[in-house]
């Protein structure tokens, strides 16, 4: 079948070229223009074929919830595929609207599933009303509720003003560094009258501007709304995305404070969600999962408390790296520490860009400590808390070796106690119950 399709495509292309040669007016055009016209027509014909195939694939897509309460998706034009998704393993359900789909009020439902090599399921292209209805039912069933449970009301708790978003993107060290390099190159080229450096300046100056504009477009209009289903995020200028962060799936939090943000008290909040952005996922899944692109630090803590109410970094007991750690990490050793309380474990690292990473004890999968050759010489060790793969890593760097071992043993016991009392998997039941009362 594949060979037949290729043969038909080649013969079709040859037929197009023959017809082009038969056109009289093309005889007066240079051969190069004839070739360009032929290529353009071939590309147009191929685009029509691709569009037709995509339409057939869209028509062939069907999905339903079976008697066992699992989501089934049937797809494929030439080869039919049937996939079964256990709703109990669903980590997130998102509704996105690419720019072309927005013109026709269409949307894509993206379902993230844990424990599978291909963790992403996409339902393209649905009406916006149907997409929201599917998200509502899937989220309700994955939270252990009835499928006809109505969508929970939401309350907007935070927005990111466009000015703050643009300022935060410009004040990144990478952006400032490249723009300063551009200014130096242009100045040197002007003074030396050697304008060959302008090509380099176009790259060093153009790349950061492109990155700033692209991220501004992506996160424009960022809003955070609270509901019993979790936190609902909505953002995007050309491509609108609506995501729900379920509290029961959040594994760890990372407060990121770049150097140029700290005077303004800003922070970026990253979050690891089980099944989202894993190491084995496709490149589109390996993007940074943001809870907030930029916000005042107090507001960032308030938003985190809404999905992890027991996580309070202000009450932690901290153990800092010893003074000799400067021999291993002479820039950031003063900011290296590990902290914990009854519910939470956290670490601090970074001097230019500060990170405070925290997780509930119950999210710990394993604990270990390691010693590199230089750490052994100066009696240091690094203590690691292993969690679901994602953008947030929790490693207490270069602690005293005895302290690292003691903290690791404590964290292993705290994780066992936390798992015995954890009731977050069916967070929706308690949330709805509180709402009904």
Q: Please tell me whether residues 277 and 347 are part of one structural domain.
A: yes
Closest to 49 (Cα-Cα) out of 9, 76, 18: 9
Tally the domains of the chain.
4
Q: In a 3-state reduction of DSSP, which class is residue 86?
A: coil
Domain endpoint, select from 12, 28, 60? 60
User: Which stretches does DSSP call E strand in 30-104?
Assistant: 62-65, 71-75, 81-85, 90-97
Q: Is residue 274 part of a domain?
A: yes
DSSP 43: H
- The stretch 140-156 carries a mean pLDDT of 77
Return the top range by mean pLDDT from 101-105, 226-230, 237-241, 261-265: 261-265
Q: Please tell me whether residues 396 and 297 are part of one structural domain.
A: yes
Percent of the chain, pLDDT > 70? Answer: 80
Domain of 396? 249-427
Residue-wise pLDDT for 389-422, tens only, equals 888 999 999 999 999 999 999 999 999 998 888 7
Token pair recorded at residue 236? 């995007």
Instruction: Specify whether the CB–CB gap between 359 and 344 falls below 8 A.
Output: yes
Q: Please tell me whether residues 268 and 201 are part of one structural domain.
A: no
> Measured in whole angstroms, how far is the alpha carbon of residue 235 from the centre of its chain?
13
Q: Is residue 279 part of a domain?
A: yes
Domain endpoint, select from 181, 211, 245? 245
Q: Is residue 436 part of a domain?
A: no
Q: Please tell me whether residues 35 and 148 are part of one structural domain.
A: no
Q: Give Cβ neighbours of residue 169 (< 8 Å, ≥ 6 apart).
A: 175, 211, 212, 215, 216
Closest to 143 (Cα-Cα) out of 435, 361, 424: 424
H, E, C per residue of 119-185: CEEEEEEEEHHHHHHHHHHHHHHHCCCCCCCCCCCCEEEEECCHHHHHHHHHCCHHHHHHHHHHHHH
Q: Please tell me whether residues 305 and 377 are part of one structural domain.
A: yes
Closest to 84 (Cα-Cα) out of 97, 96, 73: 73
Q: Please tell me whether residues 241 and 94 are part of one structural domain.
A: yes
Per-residue pLDDT band at 247 (split at 50, 70, 90): confident
Q: Is residue 417 part of a domain?
A: yes
Q: Which of 16-20, 43-47, 182-186, 286-290 shows the lowest per-residue confidence on average (mean pLDDT)? A: 16-20
Instruction: Specify whether the CB–CB gap between 103 and 265 falls below 8 A.
Output: no
Residue-wise pLDDT for 56-87, tens only, equals 888 888 888 887 778 888 888 888 888 888 77
Per-residue pLDDT band at 325 (split at 50, 70, 90): very high
Q: Please tell me whether residues 306 and 336 are part of one structural domain.
A: yes
Q: Is residue 349 part of a domain?
A: yes
Q: Is residue 434 part of a domain?
A: no
Token pair recorded at residue 256? 């990121």
Q: Is residue 432 part of a domain?
A: no
Mean pLDDT, the chain, integer? 81
31-60 and 2-22 are packed helices; what angle lies between their axes, rounded to 10 degrees? 140
Domain endpoint, select from 60, 80, 107? 60
Instruction: Specify whether the CB–CB gap between 336 and 319 falls below 8 A.
Output: no
Token pair recorded at residue 140? 């309700």
How many other CB atoms sit within 10 Å of the CB of residue 26? 16
Q: Is the Cα dihedral 286, 287, 291, 294 positive or negative?
A: positive
Tokens 């916006």 -> residue: 128
Q: Please tell me whether residues 179 and 115 are part of one structural domain.
A: no
Cα separation of 245 and 91, whole Å? 9
Closest to 321 (Cα-Cα) out of 378, 267, 367, 372: 378
Beta partners for residue 368, in sequence order: 384
Residue-wise pLDDT for 355-394, tens only, equals 999 999 999 999 999 999 999 999 999 999 999 888 899 9
Q: Please tell me whether residues 173 and 50 are part of one structural domain.
A: no
Q: Please tell me whether residues 328 and 419 are part of one structural domain.
A: yes
> Measured in whole angstroms, how far is the alpha carbon of residue 298 from the centre of its chain?
23
> Measured in whole angstroms, how far is the alpha carbon of residue 167 from the centre of its chain?
21
Burial class (CB in 10 A: 0-12, 13-18, 19+), 62: exposed
Residue-level length of the chain: 437
Instruction: Specify whether the CB–CB gap between 238 and 217 falls below 8 A.
Output: yes
Q: Please tell me whether residues 175 and 91 are part of one structural domain.
A: no
Q: Is residue 433 part of a domain?
A: no
DSSP 343: S
Q: Please tell me whether residues 376 and 283 are part of one structural domain.
A: yes
């Amino acid at each position: 079948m594949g060979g037949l399709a290729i043969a038909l495509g080649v013969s079709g292309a040859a037929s197009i070229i023959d017809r082009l040669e038969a056109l009289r007016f093309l005889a007066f055009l240079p051969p190069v223009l004839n070739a360009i016209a032929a290529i353009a027509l071939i590309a147009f014909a191929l685009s029509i074929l691709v569009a037709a195939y995509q339409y057939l694939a869209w028509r062939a897509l069907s999905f339903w919830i079976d008697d066992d309460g699992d989501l089934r998706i049937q797809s494929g034009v030439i080869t039919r595929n049937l996939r079964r998704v256990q709703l109990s393993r669903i980590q997130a359900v998102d509704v996105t609207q690419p720019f072309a789909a927005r013109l026709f009020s269409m949307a894509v439902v993206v379902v993230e599933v844990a424990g599978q090599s291909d963790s992403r399921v996409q339902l393209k292209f649905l009406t916006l009303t149907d997409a929201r209805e599917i998200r509502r039912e899937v989220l309700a069933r994955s939270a252990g509720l009835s499928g006809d449970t109505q969508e929970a009301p939401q309350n907007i708790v935070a927005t990111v003003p466009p000015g703050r978003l643009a300022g935060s993107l410009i004040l990144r060290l990478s952006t400032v560094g490249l723009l300063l390099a551009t200014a130096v190159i242009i100045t040197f080229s002007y003074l030396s009258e050697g304008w060959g450096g302008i090509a380099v300046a176009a790259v060093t100056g153009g790349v950061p501007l492109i990155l700033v504009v692209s991220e501004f477009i992506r996160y424009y209009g960022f809003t955070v709304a609270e509901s019993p289903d979790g936190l609902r995020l909505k953002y995007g200028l050309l491509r609108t995305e609506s995501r729900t962060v379920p509290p029961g799936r959040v594994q760890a939090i990372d407060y990121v404070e770049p150097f140029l943000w700290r005077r303004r008290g800003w922070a970026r909040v990253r979050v690891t969600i089980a099944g989202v952005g894993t190491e084995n996922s496709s490149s589109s899944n390996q993007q940074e999962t943001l809870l907030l692109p930029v916000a005042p630090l107090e507001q960032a803590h308030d938003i985190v408390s809404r999905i992890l109410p027991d996580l309070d970094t202000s009450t932690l007991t901290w153990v800092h790296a010893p003074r000799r750690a400067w021999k291993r990490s002479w820039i950031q050793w003063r900011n290296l520490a590990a902290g914990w309380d009854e519910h939470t474990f956290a670490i601090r690292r970074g001097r230019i860009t500060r990170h405070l990473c925290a997780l509930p004890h119950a999210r710990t999968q394993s604990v270990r400590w390691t010693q590199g050759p230089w750490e052994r010489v100066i009696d240091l060790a690094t203590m690691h808390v292993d969690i679901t793969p994602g953008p947030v890593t929790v490693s207490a760097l270069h602690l005293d070796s005895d302290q690292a071992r003691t903290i690791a043993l404590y964290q292993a016991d705290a994780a066992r106690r936390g798992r015995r009392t954890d009731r977050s998997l069916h967070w929706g039941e308690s949330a709805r119950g509180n709402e009904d009362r």
